[in-house]
C-alpha cells in the first residue's frame, strides 16, 4: 500500500509560462540543432517539437520545464557532447532523471534527461554498486538484496539514486550508516568544459568533496559508485494514530525518539487525508498521525521492545510493523507513487522540546484548518551527526531532527500553501538548526537561501570550487548557489 494522495488536478501551478521563455534565450537555429542530433545517440528535441513536453515531464508536475533544447542522453558521451554544444551556444544546462525534485522551470536552457542511462552492477565481494544516472533506488535495492546488502535508500525507492545521494540522502538506515552521500566512493561527471572526469578521494579530491553535498552545481553526474551495507533483517513499518490523539502522540514521540539507539530510524507525520474512495476507510477524510519505524539491529525482539512505548500512545486507525525485506522498505513511509503537484520546504531542528511540540500543535494540530497534506518530523543523530569517513560538503549534521511541510500546489492554493507551510516552519524557528540537508530545502527564494543552508566555511569553499570548474555558471538550475 502507498500513502493515499489526492488525484492529480488538471491544472497544476506552472512556475513560468511559455511566453516568458522567449525572453530568456534566443531561439536556436534549426541547422545547429541538427548538428547536435548528429553528435549524440539519444533523441534531441527543440522548442515546438512533438515529444519535447513528454521528454522533460516531471514527477512533481507543479514545475513544467520549457527548455530551448532537450537531449535524451543514453551514455556519458551524449552528456559530454550536449554540454559542449550548450556552452558553444550560450545556453545554461539543466539535468533531470526522475523529475521528483525540480525547483524551477529550466526555461530557455538545454535540458539533459538521463532516464535512459540504466546500468547497474553489484560487486558483492567489495560491497559496492555502480549506478548510472537514470537509475531509481528500486533497482539497486532489489539487486543488492540478493546478496544480503542494501543501499542507503530514502523514504521512496521510486527516486533516482544520483540526485538523492548528492543532495545528502537521509533514509531509514541513516542513523546507523550515515547520509547516502557518505557512501559514495566515486563520481563520474561531465563538467562545463565538456570533460568526462572520475572523482574519488584520490582523484580530484576537492571536486569530489564538493559534489557530495553540493548536488548539481558542478556538472552532470553520469554514474556513481556507492557502498552497500549488510542488513540481516529489518523490523519495520508504520502506525496511523487518530488525529484527536495528536498531542499525546507527538509528546510521546519527542520523549521517546532521543532514547533510541542508532539501529532505529524513525519519523512522525501529521497527515490530512482526502475523503476519496482510494483512501482506505479507516483513514478516509481523516487527520492522522503516522509513525514510521525501522529497526536494523540483530534481534527482532529488540525492535519490538524499543517500539513498545509508542504502540499505546494513541488510538490506532491502521498499521503494521513487523519483519520485512530491504526491498520492501517503501512500506515504512508509504510515499505516493503517482505524479502530483506539490510544494515542499524543510529545515533542521536542534531539538524537539515540549514547547516546540506545543508550537507545532498550535499551527498544525487537529483544530487547524490548513491545506498541508503532510508535516513531518524526522529523527536525525547517530551517524547522520558525525563527519563522513571521507569528508564531504553535506549540510545538516548539526540537526537532531528535520521538519518538513508539504502541500498540493494547485492554482486555487498557489499563494496559500507556501504561506501556511512557511508559517509552520516559522513556528519552530527558535529551534531551527544552522544547516539543512539540500534535499530538504524544497522551495527557495534564490541562491542566497541555498548558500545559507551550509555551515560556516563550507559554502565559501563550495563557491571556490564552483568558480574553478564552472566560472560561467553553466549549471545554475535546481538548488544552485
The answer on pLDDT for 1 being more than 50 is no
Residue with cell 535508500: 153
Q: Which domains does the chain have, with CATH numbers?
A: 18-113 (3.30.43.10), 120-230+454-469 (3.30.465.10), 234-447 (3.40.462.20)
What is the torsional sign of CA 376, 379, 385, 391?
negative
Q: Considering the chain, what percentage of its residues have pLDDT values greater than 70?
A: 95
> What average pLDDT is seen over the chain?
94
Angle at 183 between CA 162 and CA 185, to 5 degrees: 80
pTM for this prediction: 0.94
Express each pLDDT in 270-282 by its tens digit: 999 999 888 899 9
User: What whole-number percentage of the chain has pLDDT above 90?
Assistant: 91
Amino acid 233: pLDDT: 85
**Cβ(5)–Cβ(338) below 8 Å:** yes
pLDDT at 12: 56
CA count, 13 A, side-chain hemisphere, 62:
24
Which uninterrupted H or E stretch holds 409?
Answer: none
Is residue 270 within 8 Å of 246, Cβ to Cβ? yes
pLDDT of residue 278: 83
pLDDT at 5: 44
Average pLDDT over residues 349-361: 98
Write out pLDDT tens, residues 441-465: 999 999 999 999 998 899 999 999 9
What pLDDT is attached to residue 30?
85
Whole-angstrom CA distances from 242 to 200, 287, 289, 369 are 48, 7, 6, 16
pLDDT value at residue 25? 54
**How many Å apart are CA 339 and CA 343, to the nearest integer?**
13
Q: What is the predicted pLDDT for the residue at 241?
A: 98
Cα–Cα separations (whole angstroms), residue 469 to 248, 286, 307, 472, 473: 52, 51, 48, 9, 9
- 217-226: average pLDDT: 98
Top-confidence residue, 402 or 8: 402
Query: What pLDDT does 27 receive?
Result: 76
Q: What pLDDT, in 10s, does the model give residues 50-98?
A: 999 999 999 999 999 999 999 999 999 999 999 999 999 999 999 999 9
- Residue ranges in 312-405 assigned as alpha helix (H): 330-333, 354-364
Each residue's pLDDT tens digit, 315-338: 999 999 999 999 999 999 999 889
pLDDT of residue 154: 97
The reported pLDDT for the residue numbered 46 is 97
What's residue 22's pLDDT? 37
**9 or 295: which leads in pLDDT:** 295
User: pLDDT band at 17, cuts 50/70/90?
Assistant: very low
User: pLDDT tens, 403-435?
Assistant: 999 999 999 999 999 999 999 999 999 999 999
Q: Is the CB of residue 151 less than 8 Å from the CB of residue 170?
A: no
Q: Tell me what the mean pLDDT of segment 225-247 comes to.
A: 97
Q: Can you give the pLDDT at residue 19? A: 35
* Residue 26 pLDDT > 70: no
13/212: higher pLDDT: 212
Strands 287-295 and 220-227: unpaired
Residue 234 has pLDDT above 80, yes or no: yes
Is the pLDDT confidence value at 18 over 60?
A: no
pLDDT band for 240, please (50, 70, 90 cuts).
very high
Amino acid at each position: 500500500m502507498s500513502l493515499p494522495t489526492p488525484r492529480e488536478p488538471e491544472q497544476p501551478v506552472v512556475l513560468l509560462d511559455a511566453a516568458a521563455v522567449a525572453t530568456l534565450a534566443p531561439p536556436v537555429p534549426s541547422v545547429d540543432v541538427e548538428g547536435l542530433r548528429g553528435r549524440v545517440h539519444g533523441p534531441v528535441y527543440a522548442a515546438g517539437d512533438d515529444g519535447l513536453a513528454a521528454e522533460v515531464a516531471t514527477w512533481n508536475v507543479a514545475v513544467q520545464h520549457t527548455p530551448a533544447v532537450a537531449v535524451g542522453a543514453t551514455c556519458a558521451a551524449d552528456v559530454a557532447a550536449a554540454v559542449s554544444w550548450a556552452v558553444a551556444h550560450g545556453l545554461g544546462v539543466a539535468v533531470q532523471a526522475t523529475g521528483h525534485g525540480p525547483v524551477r522551470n529550466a526555461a530557455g536552457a538545454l535540458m539533459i534527461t538521463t532516464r535512459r542511462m540504466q546500468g547497474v552492477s553489484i560487486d558483492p565481494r567489495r560491497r559496492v554498486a555502480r549506478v548510472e544516472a537514470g537509475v531509481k533506488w528500486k533497482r539497486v535495492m532489489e539487486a543488492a538484496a540478493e546478496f544480503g546488502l542494501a543501499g542507503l535508500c530514502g523514504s521512496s525507492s521510486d527516486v533516482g539514486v544520483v540526485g538523492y545521494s548528492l543532495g545528502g540522502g537521509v533514509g531509514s538506515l541513516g542513523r546507523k550508516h550515515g547520509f547516502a552521500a557518505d557512501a559514495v566512493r566515486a563520481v563520474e561527471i561531465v563538467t562545463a568544459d565538456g570533460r568526462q572526469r572520475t572523482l574519488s578521494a584520490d582523484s580530484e579530491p576537492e571536486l569530489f568533496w564538493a559534489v557530495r553535498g553540493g548536488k548539481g552545481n558542478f556538472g552532470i553526474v553520469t554514474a556513481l559508485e556507492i557502498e552497500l551495507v549488510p542488513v540481516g533483517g529489518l523490523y519495520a513499518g508504520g502506525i496511523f494514530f487518530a488525529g484527536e490523539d495528536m498531542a499525546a502522540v507527538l509528546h510521546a514521540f519527542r520523549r521517546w525518539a532521543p532514547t533510541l539507539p542508532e539501529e532505529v530510524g524513525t519519523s512522525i507525520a501529521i497527515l490530512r487525508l482526502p475523503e476519496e474512495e482510494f483512501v482506505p476507510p479507516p483513514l478516509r477524510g481523516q487527520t492522522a498521525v503516522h509513525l514510521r519505524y525501522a529497526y536494523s539491529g540483530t534481534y527482532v525482539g529488540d525492535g519490538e521492545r524499543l517500539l513498545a512505548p509508542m504502540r499505546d500512545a494513541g488510538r490506532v486507525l491502521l498499521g503494521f510493523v513487523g519483519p520485512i525485506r530491504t526491498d520492501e522498505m517503501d512500506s515504512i513511509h508509504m510515499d505516493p507513487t503517482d505524479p502530483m503537484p506539490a510544494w515542499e520546504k524543510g529545515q533542521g531542528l536542534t531539538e524537539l522540546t515540549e514547547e516546540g511540540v506545543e508550537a507545532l500543535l498550535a499551527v498544525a494540530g487537529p483544530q487547524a484548518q490548513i491545506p498541508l497534506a503532510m508535516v513531518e518530523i524526522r529523527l536525525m543523530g547517530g551517524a547522520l551527526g558525525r563527519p563522513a569517513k571521507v569528508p564531504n560538503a553535506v549540510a545538516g549534521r548539526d540537526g537532531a531532527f528535520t521538519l518538513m511541510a508539504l502541500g498540493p500546489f494547485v492554482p486555487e492554493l498557489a499563494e496559500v500553501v507556501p504561506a501556511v507551510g512557511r508559517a509552520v516552519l516559522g513556528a519552530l524557528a527558535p529551534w531551527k538548526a544552522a544547516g539543512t540537508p539540500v534535499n530538504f530545502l524544497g522551495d527557495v527564494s534564490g541562491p542566497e537561501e541555498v548558500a545559507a543552508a551550509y555551515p560556516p566555511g563550507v559554502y565559501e569553499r563550495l563557491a571556490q570550487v564552483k568558480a574553478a570548474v564552472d566560472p560561467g555558471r553553466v549549471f545554475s538550475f535546481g538548488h544552485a548557489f
